Amino acid sequence: MRRVLITGAGGGIGRSLRETLRGVYPILRLSDRVALAPTRDGEEVDRTELSDMAAVERMVAGVDGVIHLGGISGENEWPVILEGNIIGLYNVFEAARRAGVQRIVFATSNHAVGFYPREQKIDHLVVPRPDSRYGVSKAFGEALASLYSDRHGIGVLCTRIGNFGEKPIDKRRLSIWISPRDYTQLVRIGLEHPDIRYEIVYGVSNNRRSWYDNLNAVRLGYRPQDDSEPYAEAVLAAEAGQEADPIAEHYQGGTFCAAEYTAKTPRL
Ligand code: 15L
């Protein structure tokens, strides 16, 4: 990998990867719809709207690998999701194919499977159970990635990210947290592992309270260094006495599941 593109480079994960991948590959091309911090050695800065195919083609020209973080990172109205996560995502994969890109790491989300109950441990083989329009767009992304892998031979690692941050911020995140250094490790596996054709893994640290069987990531060499447990006492103490929504509490997706929920009975 000589030149690696990060889309959505202005977001929280993008800004972090800009630092942790600095010097790992000769050139990092950083792109976002918003202006980014100025270029340093070994960097190229780009400003692109993902819904604009001609601009996306310019963005991917000459890159060897793509880390696709761009798009909408939470629930939103359908037109917004459509533009950022369906049209924008399609444009990135299609432009990458035309440019001959061989590897893509796709930032999908726990919300593609958020309607699994917390009591069920899930692996990479479960069918999607999106908990939002956002989650549906991530399941769409996983499906599009599968098509581009099968039909065009592009190697794709779909990382179903839990919650990325320096530390877990609440009880739910104790089960899905991923630290910056663990996500960096996973992204590097996605770009560098010689045998990846199409894989789904969970982007989570080695959390004792995990809801995921991340055996596929482990098979690919992932050895997460962090665990949310040392933060558990403080996180739980901060939440003590707070009233919890029963739907949000029951499902892995939390408040994404409770929002707009009108089912009279839960789906089994
Ligand atoms: C996500 O997919 C979002 O991008 C992030 O903002 C958080 O909401 C995260 O999931 C989460 O579930 O905590």
Which atom of ligand 1 approaches the CA of 134 most closely?
A: 2
Using most ligand atoms within 8 A of CB, pick from 109, 174, 179 the residue to mutate for ligand 1.
109
Q: Is ligand 1 within 6 A of the CB of residue 108?
A: no
Known catalytic residues are 134
Using most ligand atoms within 8 A of CB, pick from 131, 161, 255 the residue to mutate for ligand 1.
161
Q: Cα(98) to centroid of ligand 1, in Å?
A: 31
Predicted local confidence at residue 168, as pLDDT: 98
d(CA 152, CA 209): 38
Atom 4 of ligand 1 has which residue's CA nearest to it? 73
Atom 8 of ligand 1 has which residue's CA nearest to it? 74
Which atom of ligand 1 approaches the CA of 114 most closely?
A: 12
Q: Is ligand 1 within 6 A of the CB of residue 73?
A: yes
Q: Average pLDDT of each block of 10 consecutive residues along the chain (268 residues)?
A: 98 98 98 96 98 98 98 98 98 98 99 98 98 99 99 98 98 98 99 98 98 98 98 97 95 98 95
Q: Cα(152) to centroid of ligand 1, in Å?
A: 30
Using most ligand atoms within 8 A of CB, pick from 69, 72, 73 the residue to mutate for ligand 1.
73
Q: At what angle do helices 133-152 and 88-99 cross, to 10 degrees?
A: 20
Predicted local confidence at residue 268, as pLDDT: 83
Q: In this structure, is the dihedral angle defined by the CA atoms of residues 94, 49, 111 and 257, taken in order, positive or negative?
A: negative
- Interval 197-222: pLDDT, tens: 999 999 999 999 999 999 999 999 99
Q: What are the E-state strand segments in the chain?
A: 3-7, 27-32, 43-47, 65-68, 103-109, 155-161, 163-164, 177-178, 198-203
Residues contacting residue 103 through CB under 8 Å, at least 6 positions apart: 1, 64, 65, 66, 154, 155, 156, 190, 191, 196
Predicted local confidence at residue 156, as pLDDT: 99
pTM of the complete model beyond 0.95: yes
Predicted local confidence at residue 118, as pLDDT: 98
> What's the residue count for the chain?
268
Q: How far is CA 167 from the centre of its chain?
A: 17
Q: Is ligand 1 within 6 A of the CB of residue 252?
A: no
Amino acid at 262: T
